[in-house]
A and B are shown apart, each in its own frame.
Chain A
């Protein structure tokens, strides 16, 4: 009796093992971001369609909420289980390179795919080699109430004057809705700073970053300007409590005249059928300074531990086909990254137009491994000014000193 039991177990084990080996297709794991607007069916359909076309490849799309993307990726990498491909915010690229885990993806991409990408979007190109394939890219724009303002302000000074006329804080109507809570990105400081011809670091000839310059004239006057907006009640009260989505909601509910955010704002405004007239415009700039928006790109990176690089590349070819990219771009609210879709009629609305036009003059986040810590240091000091704990000069001096110390400069 016992002996037959063992034989049965052994047989089951063999059959099981054989079954496992028989179905051994190459596995490609893609860490996929849940973009707002992207439906769960999109990823499911993409996976199915790809596997139908390539029956020898087993595609696993690991869907992750955006806000947890970074932390989950770090856990996977540190846990020795990195995926083959992942969507990342390009600002994380240097961090990942510092960990030594990313592959120069361009070696594995088909030339057709590489050629089809708008060259201006290659933020993930480090020292001439592409590490990050652009997935989504957009500049930030200004939304304004066209029923209350005669025109879109071109300069921040002009904006201030216009807001002084329309802001009615007693009636819960605010001039500009501003974020002040430490969030993933340093907006809106970046919007104002870039428009003041400022930046976070000195950029050397070879593209590397020098000292932190947020405490120079541009940085401090920017922060002072923002503080004055708050002090003079041209923003909503309690700025330091507001995250980006809350600022958007304030504009959408009709309580603010201006907000600055990404292209998805238009999607939200349309979705909610707002009863007021609104319009889009490029971000303002300070008088005498060049216009410069913030450009943020997301990229697809390949990990060097991957055992399925060729197959992963096939997935990218599939995903970047017009059919799939068009649906993706329509859903997520970013202008297309592929040249072949640039002239598609869907993207000829003002929102897309301004987002694309601003690309040439826009600046990205600094691409450095220590950026998350620098981001925090600057944000904490900015909040300190909003709370009246420090003056803008003090705050930026402290931030710059801490950042330089951190980077060993």
Chain B
């Protein structure tokens, strides 16, 4: 078949038709903003977000010279890795639990969604109230249990942990739900067949559940990585990146530069760096996904 012929098979014509509406909207609404971000990163940008002169790598060099810049990148990666792992593992465990047919399962499933049902800024405010040392019920309860909790948001390590927990907390229901839906699609017959072959629970999980769930697992964790890396609201509301910059990640820095210092050039450069990091991760990650798709 000629190349033109291969391009325009009925199948591909249908595919493009189905995809065009989505692509159009994405291009109209996202293409210009994203393109402009790339432009801003390479130009000098005035306070009105207008380009005033080609700057080449100037914005990037300004960033690399910042003493805390590398720390922030590393911290962003640690933040993402820790949070996504926790969300995935906990979400999977909960999905497995909720997959078992027990009485009250419907109620449990409905309750699980609550952390996700409230918006992230409000959840962050709720946790701020809970973490409060004087009026918050967390430390009160922990002390009642005989423990000696720190003033969570006061110190670098405890503040970082406190922030990460909120991000994890907000993300668990989504993961649990996504995995639960995936588990539902696994035919019961496969488990029964495995049992007949003498498989234990663990090997059933390894050889039936995991493989069939891998597509969903890959997509969910990949998207969670993108989402978590850019999770702005939790840190901004709880600690604003403090104390003493110990909880700043790239996205809070981007925000500071854009809206507080009104330096759109470096802010855009940081967005481009974020993009580069996330794209690299995605390519490595998604290769698994595409390889499977070729089945």
A–B direct contact (CB < 8 Å): yes
Residue numbers of A with Cβ under 8 A of B are 70-71, 74-75, 77-79, 95, 98-101, 172, 180-183, 236-241, 246, 249-250, 253, 255, 370, 372-373, 376, 379-381, 383-384, 386-387, 389
Q: How many A-B residue pairs have CB under 8 A?
A: 93
A residues less than 8 Å from B25 (CB atoms)? none
CA distance A370 to B260 in the complex (A): 10
Residue numbers of B with Cβ under 8 A of A are 46-49, 131-135, 150-156, 159, 239-245, 256, 258-262, 264
Q: Which of A181, A240, A389 is the most central at the interface, judged by chain B CB atoms within 10 Å of its CB?
A: A240
B151 touches A237 (CB 8 A): yes
Name 11 A/B residue pairs within 8 A (Cβ), A-sorted: A77-B48, A78-B48, A99-B262, A182-B241, A238-B133, A246-B134, A255-B134, A372-B260, A372-B261, A376-B260, A387-B244
CB proximity of A239 to chain B, nearest CB, Å: 7
CB proximity of B45 to chain A, nearest CB, Å: 10
Given contacts A95-B262, A238-B154, A380-B244, contact A253 B48 (CB under 8 A): no
A241 touches B151 (CB 8 A): yes
Measured CB to CB, the nearest residue on chain A to B257 is A373
B243 touches A180 (CB 8 A): yes
B residues less than 8 Å from A381 (CB atoms)? 244
A383 touches B244 (CB 8 A): yes
CB proximity of B261 to chain A, nearest CB, Å: 5
A residues less than 8 Å from B243 (CB atoms)? 180-182, 240-241, 383, 386-387
Main secondary structure of the interface of A (DSSP, over half): helix
Partner of B135, one of A74, A78, A79, A253: A253
Known: A181-B242, A182-B241, A373-B260. 5 other contacts (CB 8 A): A70-B260, A78-B264, A181-B240, A249-B134, A389-B244
A241 touches B261 (CB 8 A): no
B residues less than 8 Å from A240 (CB atoms)? 153-155, 242-244
Measured CB to CB, the nearest residue on chain B to A79 is B49
CA distance A237 to B151 in the complex (A): 8
CB proximity of B117 to chain A, nearest CB, Å: 22
CA distance A220 to B150 in the complex (A): 29
CA distance A379 to B260 in the complex (A): 14
Measured CB to CB, the nearest residue on chain B to A370 is B261
B residues less than 8 Å from A372 (CB atoms)? 260-261
B residues less than 8 Å from A236 (CB atoms)? 133-134
Measured CB to CB, the nearest residue on chain A to B152 is A241
B residues less than 8 Å from A376 (CB atoms)? 256, 260
CA distance A78 to B88 in the complex (A): 39
B residues less than 8 Å from A75 (CB atoms)? 259
A residues less than 8 Å from B152 (CB atoms)? 241
